[in-house]
């Protein structure tokens, strides 16, 4: 007598293996989507921080916008549409230089942001 087909154990084993592989692939896809979102957020915050640094660098050394202090602004990234909190501080190092620190992080999340520092020098012209 020839047995044709699969036994119940073989069928259950193959079904369990298929479910295990599909669950693993679904977990990988979920993780990849989460990491892409974090990456997009970090890229956007880096671009916004660089933009703020460049805007401040373009100002004259004695400009009122470069007065010592802490400043804050909420902006929306054009590419992602997400809101970001931009904070910058300007510290006078001496009569010839200022330290500018810019911190940009996504608003209303615990995601990490980007911090950039720049020293302006009157004598060097930047």
Q: SS3 string of 57-104?
A: HCCCCCCHHHCCEEEEEEEECCCCCCEEEEEEEEEEEECCEEEEEEEE
* Within a domain: 1: no
Q: Write the CB contacts of 59 (distance below 8 Å, at least 6 apart in sequence).
A: 65, 66
**pTM summary value:** 0.79
CATH number for the domain that contains residue 70: 3.30.1300.30
Q: Is 53 exposed, middle or buried (0-12, 13-18, 19+ CB in 10 A)?
A: middle
pLDDT recorded at residue 123: 83
Return per-residue pLDDT of the chain as tens, 126 residues: 567 778 899 999 999 999 999 999 999 999 999 999 889 999 999 999 999 999 999 999 999 999 999 999 999 998 888 999 999 999 999 999 999 999 999 998 887 889 999 999 988 876
| Domain interval for residue 47 | 8-121
| Tally of domains in the chain | 1
* Within a domain: 75: yes
Residue keyed to tokens 């154990």: 9
* Within a domain: 2: no
């Amino acid at each position: 007598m020839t047995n044709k087909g699969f036994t119940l154990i073989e069928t259950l084993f193959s079904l369990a293996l298929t479910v295990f592989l599909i669950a693993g692939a679904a977990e990988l896809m979920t993780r990849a989507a989460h990491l892409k979102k974090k990456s997009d957020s970090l890229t956007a915050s880096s671009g916004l921080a660089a933009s703020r640094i460049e805007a401040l660098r373009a100002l004259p050394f004695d400009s009122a916008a470069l007065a010592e202090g802490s400043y804050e602004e909420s902006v929306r990234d054009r590419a992602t549409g997400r809101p970001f909190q931009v904070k910058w501080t300007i510290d006078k190092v001496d009569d010839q230089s200022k330290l500018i620190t810019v911190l940009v992080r996504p608003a209303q999340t615990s995601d990490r942001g980007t911090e950039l520092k720049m020293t302006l020098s009157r004598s060097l012209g930047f």
